[in-house]
Amino acid sequence: MAALAILGSWAVRAIAFAMLPGAPPQLYGGFHVGLSLPIPVVQVAPHWYAIFALWGTFAAIGVCGWRAALAAERLRSVFAGYAIVALLLTLFSVTVSIDTYFYTVFARLFGVYGIDPYVLVSPIRVSDPILATDFNLLNNPPFPDPYGPGFTLLAGLIGRLEAGATLWQQLWTWRLVSVGSCLLILAAVVRLLRRVPESGRVQRLAAVAFNPLVLYESGVGGHNDFLMVAAAIWSYALVDELPLVAGLLAGAAISIKYFAAVIVPFVALRAARTSRVAGVLVVILATLVPVLCFHPFAFGSTGQATLAKVGASLAMSPTWLLALPLFALKAGASAGAHPAIDTAIRGVQLAMAAGFALVTAGAIISYARAPRSAPVVRSITALLWSLPAMHPWYAVWIAPAAAVRSAWSAYAWWFAALSLLVYAHEAVLPTAANHTTFIIIAVVWLAVPIAIARRAPMRRELPPQQQRAGPEEEGARA
C-alpha cells in the first residue's frame, strides 16, 4: 500500500500537469489556478485522465487493504498499518477537494486577525500573502464559514499557532488532524467491539481502517468529518459508563458539523436506560455545547443565508437525480414558469427530508425497544440519501458501520468505497457531454451497495446469554 501511495501520488500529479497545454486558461481558468497552488487541486479538468489515475490508485490500495485485513492477526497491526499508510498519504502531491483551503482561510481570519468568518460580506482588506494565495482559488471574500462553531474555534487556535507557517504546512496540518481523528475512530470501534473475540475484532476493524475512502479522505482530503465522527462515536461508546461525557462529546460533534445531531436520540435513549435524568442531561449538554461555542461569533442572517445556499445546491445525490426532469423542464421553459418549477424542486427536497424524518423516527422507536446498531446505521443512511448534494467525504459518517455484524457492514463498506466515484463531478468540467456520465456514476454508487448487501450472508447473532445491552456489543448484534 505504501508503494502504491507513492506511485499514485507521482502518477496523478504528472497526468494532471500533462493536461495543461491542452487547457486554454480562458476556458479552464479554475484548472490552471488549482494546479498553481502549494498542494495542487485537480478540479474542472478538461479530461478524465487524472481522476482515472486517482481511482485506480485507491482501488489498488483498497484491494491490498482487504488482503491485509484478512491477514491481520492483532489489533495493533491494524493500527500500525493504517498509521503508516495514512501518514504517507499526507504527502500525496495533489487533492481533488478545495475544503482544506477553506479551513486555512477561516483559521487565519479568526485566529490571526480576529475576523468573524461567519460574516464575510465584503473583500478582506489585510496584506497577507497566504490569504492572497487562498483567495486566488476561493475569491475575496470567500464563501462564509458553513461549519459549526466548535470547528471554527479549533481552526482559529491552529491558525494562531501556525501564524508563521507556510500554506503547504497549514494544509498538511489538516491532513494530520484527520489522520489523528481517524485513529480515535478506530479506537472507539475497538471499544464497541471489546466483547467480541479478538480475531473477529481485527478483521472488522481492518474493514474500516483500510477502506479506500477512509484512507483517501483522512490522508489526502483532510476533511473535518473525521473530527465530527470521532466525537460522535466516542459519545456512543462511553454513554453507558459516562453519560455526561457522552453528552459533551455529542455536543462537540454537533459543534463541528450540525449533521451530527442525528446521533443524539440514540445516545440519549442509551443513557435513559440507566437513568432518565441522564438521558435528559445528554440532550441538554449536546445542545448547550454548540450554543456556547457560538459565543465569539455573529451567526444571524448571514449564517442562515450561508446554510440556505448550501441546502439549495443539488449535485450527485438522490434528490438531484429525482429533480433532473425538473431541471430539464426549467432549461426549456419561459422565465415566467421558473418560479413554479423552483417550487417543485423544493418540493422534491422537502419530500426527501420527510423521508429521512420518517425513517429516523422509526429507527428511534426500534432502538428504544431493542438497542442495536442497525437502527442507528439506518438513520445515518437515510440522512445521507436525503442530502441535497453528496460529496464523497460525507460517506465517512457511515464508514465505521463496516464493523457491524449484519448486511449493513457490506452496505457501509461499499457505499463508502464507491463514494470516491462521486469526485467525478468536481474533478472534471461539468459539460453537457459529461452530464450523462455523472448520472450513471450516481446510479451505480447508490445501487451497487444495496445489491451487494442484499446478497451478503447474514452473520449469526450472539447467543442470548451474551446479548447484554451494552454499546460495546452493538457491532456484534446489529
Convert the pLDDT of each residue in 133-158 to its tens digit. 999 999 999 989 999 999 999 999 99
What does the pLDDT read at residue 71? 78
b/e code 380-393 from CB counts within 10 Å (16+ = b): bbbbbbbbbbbbbb
Q: Residue 473 pLDDT more than 70? A: no
* Residue whose grid cell is 500525496: 92
| Mean pLDDT value across residues 267-281 | 92
What does the pLDDT read at residue 459? 47
Q: Residue 121 pLDDT more than 90? A: no
Q: Residue 299 pLDDT more than 90? A: no
What does the pLDDT read at residue 460? 40
What does the pLDDT read at residue 463? 33
Q: What is the largest CA-CA distance in the chain?
A: 69
Q: Residue 337 pLDDT more than 90? A: no
Q: Residue 361 pLDDT more than 70? A: yes
What does the pLDDT read at residue 457? 62
- The grid cell for 184 is 480515535
Distance CA(120)–CA(159), nearest Å, equals 18
The torsion of the CA quartet 379, 381, 382, 384, rounded to 10 degrees, works out to 130
Distance CA(144)–CA(226), nearest Å, equals 21
The percent of residues in the chain predicted with pLDDT above 70, rounded, is: 95
Q: What is the mean pLDDT of the chain?
A: 89
Q: What is the pLDDT of residues 395-419, one digit of tens each?
A: 999 999 999 888 899 999 999 999 9
Distance CA(301)–CA(280), nearest Å, equals 30
Q: Residue 312 pLDDT more than 80? A: no
- The grid cell for 194 is 471489546
- pLDDT band for position 466 (50/70/90)? very low
Distance CA(370)–CA(1), nearest Å, equals 40
- pLDDT band for position 3 (50/70/90)? confident
Q: Break the chain into its structural domains and give their ranges.
A: 1-219, 224-295
CA atoms within 13 A on the CB side of 341: 16
What does the pLDDT read at residue 280? 94
Choose the weakest-confidence range: 80-84, 288-292, 333-337, 409-413. Answer: 333-337
Q: Residue 470 pLDDT more than 80? A: no
